[in-house]
Amino acid sequence: MDHEQASALLPGYIDQELGLSEALEFERHLAGCPLCQEAFAQHRDVSAQLRQPGLRVDAPKELAMRIEAALPRAPSPWEKLAGWFGARGGRAPSAWAPFGAVGAMGAMALSVVALSVSLGLYLAVPSSEARLTQELVDTHIRSLQVNHLSDVISTDRHTVKPWFNGKLDFAPPVVDLAQEGYPLVGGRLDYVDGRTVAVMVYRYKLHPINLYVWPGSDAGAQPRIREQQGYHVAHWNAQGMNYWAITDAGNSELRNFVAQLRAHPAS
């Protein structure tokens, strides 16, 4: 992939719209192209800024009420049905009234069907947490496929933790769990949910565990574990941080990893 092709694919990569093969080819080019790295950082910063809640302005309620009041009101199906039966001016119903009534009832039925379809489409749209879970699983898979688990390789948390200095706007907690059977093997940066996050990489036997960390809240502090695409995913919040752990190890192994991690004081 040359520089022009990579530049054309950069917006799609930022928005996660590329296929897996294109994304992998782009990442290989990005690793060796300083110009693309600079452009990627600029696009990433702009994307993060546009996601800031302060940029959103809600319309005043009074304006919304005035606009709604100014809109023409369509007659309801029941009003149309009454009209077909001679409710207009006390006139006797015409010979076509029954057919008009059937048409009105048909319109009502179509409205119900349309409403049901719209509701089904709305319910089919994944929630923000479901989309984030899928994004993290995709990122975990990509790190395995391109052999990019770690930017810094070390089993010493005193080496991994300082490596993040100056690369993030927060200090991620790094815990050593070697004695518990989950040795730390390194760390890296990743881009998730519109921001740069820290990833600590652990192992359980031959199973890598990606632990994603970025600032969040203490709401919903208790861990929740689910399975997606054959991977086990745990999510919780603690001490102002979001935690997501993903692995192909079993549910009990991940649950124990989370318990051991939460039992250690944050470093």
CATH second-level architecture of 128-263? 2-Layer Sandwich (3.30)
pTM of the model: 0.54
| CATH 1.10.10 for domain 3-54 | yes
Indicate whether 100 pLDDT > 80: no
Stretch 189-215: mean pLDDT:
91
One fold for 3-54 and 128-263: no
Indicate whether 39 pLDDT > 60: yes
Indicate whether 129 pLDDT > 90: no
Tell me which residue has tokens 């800024």.
49
**Tens digit of pLDDT for each residue in 134-156?**
888 888 888 887 677 788 888 88
Question: What pLDDT does residue 174 have?
Answer: 92
**Tens digit of pLDDT for each residue in 234-244?**
999 888 889 99
Question: DSSP assignment of the chain, as one string?
Answer: --HHHHHHHHHHHHTT-S-HHHHHHHHHHHHT-HHHHHHHHHHHHHHHHHT-GGG--PPPHHHHHHHHHHSPPPPPHHHHHHHHTT-STTPPP-TTHHHHHHHHHHHHHHHHHHHHHHHHHHHHSPPHHHHHHHHHHHHHHHHHHTT-S-SEE-S-HHHHHHHTTTTSSS------BGGGTB-EEEEEEEEETTEEEEEEEEEETTEEEEEEEEE--STT-S-EEEEETTEEEEEEEETTEEEEEEESS-HHHHHHHHHHHHHSPP-
Domain boundaries, the chain: 3-54, 73-87+95-124, 128-263
Question: What pLDDT does residue 239 have?
Answer: 84
Stretch 93-112: mean pLDDT:
58
The lowest-confidence range among 9-13, 206-210, 216-220 is: 216-220
